[in-house]
Structure 1
Amino acid sequence: MIDFHCHLDLYQSAPAVADESQRRDVGLLSVTTTPSAWGGTTRLAKGRSAIRTAIGLHPQLAGQRKHELVLFDRYLASTLFVGEVGLDGSPECRGFWDDQLEVFDHVLQACSSGGEKVISIHSRRAAKDVLDQLDRYDRIKTPILHWFSGSRSQLKRAVERECWFSVGPAMLAGAKGRDLVAAMPNDKVLLETDGPFAQVRRQGLNPWDITAALGPLAELWGVTAHETRQRIEANERALLALVTDALRRPTN
């Protein structure tokens, strides 16, 4: 299985976490919060086939780091994965909302103009605005809404947009999170930890802790944990096939 949203470079002992994930055969999408972190983060994946690195610029850093979009453009062709990007409507982030919009629009434009990318998207208190932006770029086929926390009507809109959703043990620990996950199409659900930031019972999550999401998902879906694992693994294959198939298409 794959942890589709993990901040590998921000673990205190990142190489040890990377090695343990590889030993346990847990894949992980290592998202970056700034383009300048790309070099160090990609080195963590070197020699570890289970790790893929995404290029990102976190919305909470958009005001300080939008000048790094030149680095984003430089590295984008080096990966099939983008993240963490998006918008954050929290009060502490509203002061640089225009910067967030500028950065997110730049990212989506770059992804739409190039080959298909898997994009891990932050949408805290900004689900409507994220979906508004995605609607402007219908060529983007594989957006993943990371830890989606919008309303049920916004979730319905995201489903109609054919978004994917990455959910994890921390999201499933709360009633609202479970309610939202229950309403998601189970063929669009992927796993994540959001480690090392996300916690369950005050314990930070490691990539291999994605297995803790299987029990709650099985309960929500009314199936066994084994059937849930099979469903998740089928979803992973389906999502990655969309990207690899895009690579084989002839260009005009």
Structure 2
Amino acid sequence: MIDFHCHLDLYPDPQSVARACQERGLYVLSVTTTPSAWRGTSALVKDAVRIRTALGLHPQIAHERAHELTLLEQLVFETPYVGEIGLDGGPEYSNHCPKQLRVFERALAICRDAGGRVMSLHSRRASGEVLDALHACPGAGTPILHWFSGPLRDLDRAIELGCWFSVGPAMLRGVKGRQLAARMPIDRVLIESDGPFAQVDGRAAWPWEAVTAIPDLAKLWRIDEGDCERQLMANLAAIGKIAVSPQFQ
């Protein structure tokens, strides 16, 4: 099945997790938090045909790693996937919001200048600002809002802007998360674990546990689980076609 947003390199034993994903036939988007981590993380899965490594600069450390934008600009031509990038409006990062925004805007411009990329985006407590930046940088690519938690008005705006969404079991545990997922276009949703950050039963979620979101999504979408799984696989195929499109090369 699918895990379209996890941090393979941040598990205690990333090699064994990567092997387990391969053995299970899992389609994975392995996101990174810094450009300097991209080559090493890619090497973990160099022989895995179903695992892709995204080039990221996480907003929570953007103020410390802004100098790595130069490396992001150099590496962006080696992958059609960029992530995790975005903004974090949590109070613990309020002092860094201006620098976060500058880094995010530059990352979007890099994607645009490279022909566009499939982007996995962080928007915690900053969904409006993320959408503003996307609107201001047309051509950056296809945005996939990971674990979207903004207000309904921002969800509706994101849908109008053509955004996709990745949804996981942790998000669907809450009433608001289920409300948001029910409103998302079912042909623009993928599933994720966000492991090892997201928790399952008090421990880090495994990539193969993203599939446990399917029963909840099926109920929200009022379809059976088999149809839900087929829809998600069709969505993954659509994103794959976007990623290999000549406009992204």
Report the TM-score when normalising by structure 2.
Answer: 0.97
Structure 1 stretch displaced more, 200-209 or 239-248? 239-248
Deviation at 1:125, TM superposition (A): 0.4
Structure 1 distance, partners of 2:9, 2:245, is: 29
2:31 is the alignment partner of 1:31: yes
Give how far 1:116 is off: 2.8
Matches of 1:243 and 1:130, distance apart in 2: 21
Which residue is equivalent to 2:168? 168
- In 1, the alpha carbon distance for the partners of 2:200 and 2:214 equals 14
The separation in 2 between residues aligned to 1:72 and 1:200, in whole angstroms, is: 32
Indicate conservation of the 8 Å contact 1:173/1:200, yes or no.
no
Distance 2:226 2:170 in 1: 21
User: Where do residues 110-129 of structure 1 align in structure 2 (5 Å cutoff)?
Assistant: 110-129=110-129
5 Å matches for 1:210-229? Answer: 210-229=210-229
Q: How does 1:105-184 map to 2 (within 5 A)?
A: 105-184=105-184
| Map of 2:58 onto structure 1 | 58
Instruction: Check conservation: 2:54, 2:81, Cα contact below 8 A.
Output: yes
| Superposition deviation, residue 247 in structure 1 | 4.7
Tell me whether 239-248 or 92-101 shows the greater mean CA deviation: 239-248
Q: Which runs of 5+ in 2 are unaligned?
A: none
Query: Partners in 2 of 1:233 and 1:44 — Cα distance?
Result: 24
Q: Deviations over 1:100-133 (max 9, x none)?
A: 0111011100111112311000000000000000
3-state SS of 2:16 partner: helix
Find the counterpart in structure 2 of residue 44 from structure 1: 44
Aligned to 1:162, the other structure's residue is in SS state coil
SS of the aligned residue for 2:93 comes to helix
- Work out whether residues 115 and 139 of structure 2, in 8 Å CA contact, stay in contact via their aligned partners in 1: no
The 2-side partners of 1:44 and 1:151 are apart by: 37
Deviation larger for 152-161 or 197-206: 197-206
Q: Deviations over 1:137-188 (max 9, x none)?
A: 2213410000000000000000000100000111111111001000111111
Among all aligned residue pairs of Structure 1 and Structure 2, give the percentage whose two residues are the same amino acid. 50
Equivalent residue, structure 2, for 1:72: 72
From the superposition, tell whether residues 91 and 248 of structure 1 become closer, same or farther in structure 2 (CA, over 3 Å).
closer
* Compared CA separation, residues 141 and 62, structure 1 to 2 (3 A): closer
Q: What per-residue deviation string (whole Å, max 9, x for no partner) do you get for residues 76-120 of structure 1?
A: 111010000000111111101111011101110011111231100
Asked if the contact 1:116/1:246 (under 8 Å) is kept, the reply is no
Structure-2 change in CA distance of 1:116 and 1:2 (3 Å):
farther
**Residue 113 of structure 1 aligns to which amino acid in structure 2?**
D
1:196 aligns with 2:196: yes
Residues 1:247 and 1:132: Cα distance change in structure 2 (over 3 Å): closer
Distance 1:29 1:60 in 2: 20
Look up the SS of the partner of 1:142 in the other structure: strand
Deviations 1:40-63 (A, max 9, x none): 111111112221111110000011
Q: CA RMSD in A?
A: 1.3
CA drift at 1:248? 8.5
